[in-house]
Amino acid sequence: MVIDDERLARKELTSLLSEYAHLDVIGEAADADEAKKKIETLHPELIFLDIQMPEKDGFQLLAELDYVPKVIFVTAYDEYALRAFEVSALDYLMKPVNPERLDETLKRLTEEEPGIESAVDLTRKNRLDQEDQIFLKDGEKCWFVSLNEVSRFQSEGNYVRVFFRNHKPMILRSLNTLESILEPRSFFRVNRRFIVNLRWIDNVENWFNGGLMVTLKDGTEIEVSRRQAAKFKESMSL
């Protein structure tokens, strides 16, 4: 998908991309709100994203997405280059886009990400699973994070704290919302405050009043409520 507030810029880039048989441009968007709706509906594998746009910039768009595709920034301003790579963008192209530079980027992309060469039906993925990436923003810090790196989500009022690597940023989401978009075979709501990544569970013990105590691989202990313990046993048993 090509996202840019300038129609001619979208047209030019779409024309360049039409030369690549393994890529299909499935949509365009002129602003962040339109882009968000189309990304959530179409689930593109890759987006070419302008940074400076009216109302919301490209970084703000990424912060609002639940499903985050791979990103190549396309912009007229090189001042954003460092920040673009801080959020793990695949590349950063300057306008007007040089065809040779684009070719170099796409060749490197297909070498590193073989799946980009074939059409993948991402629309079947109604929920986010271990292999999906999310974009997190906390103050001035930004991260692209694979969900397999996230050990747990902890509710704190109207916010949720996300634990990954040595970071634990806060996001404006409810735990109920996260539960509705995460794949239940991989992420389990153990009690009112926590969703845990099942791959991160190292040990499970019986606990008081019919509950359970799970120990994560980082040593964190979290109690599974009695009600959820029954669901946990049912879902995890053969």
* CA 212/CA 222 separation, integer angstroms: 9
Structural tokens at position 236: 């995890």
Mention every residue, 6+ apart, whose C-beta is less than 8 A from residue 207. 213, 223, 224, 229
- Kindly report, residue by residue over 40-61, the tens digit of the pLDDT: 899 998 999 998 898 898 888 9
Going by the DSSP 8-state scheme, the letter that residue 199 receives in this structure is G
Mention every residue, 6+ apart, whose C-beta is less than 8 A from residue 180. none
The amino acid present at 54, given as its one-letter code, is: P
| Residue 219 burial (10 A CB sphere; 0-12, 13-18, 19+) | exposed
Domains, the chain: 2-124 (3.40.50.2300), 133-236 (2.40.50.1020)
Q: Find the length of the chain.
A: 238
Please list the residues that pair with 70 across neighbouring strands. Answer: 46
* CA 116/CA 125 separation, integer angstroms: 16
Residue 81 in 3-state DSSP? Answer: helix
Backbone torsions φ then ψ of 184, nearest 5 degrees? -65, -20
- Kindly report, residue by residue over 97-156, the tens digit of the pLDDT: 999 999 988 887 766 554 443 333 333 345 888 988 787 877 777 888 889 999 999 999
- Kindly report, residue by residue over 165-180, the tens digit of the pLDDT: 999 998 888 888 888 8
Q: 84 pLDDT exceeds 70?
A: no
Mention every residue, 6+ apart, whose C-beta is less than 8 A from residue 151. 163, 164, 196, 197, 200, 216, 217, 218, 220
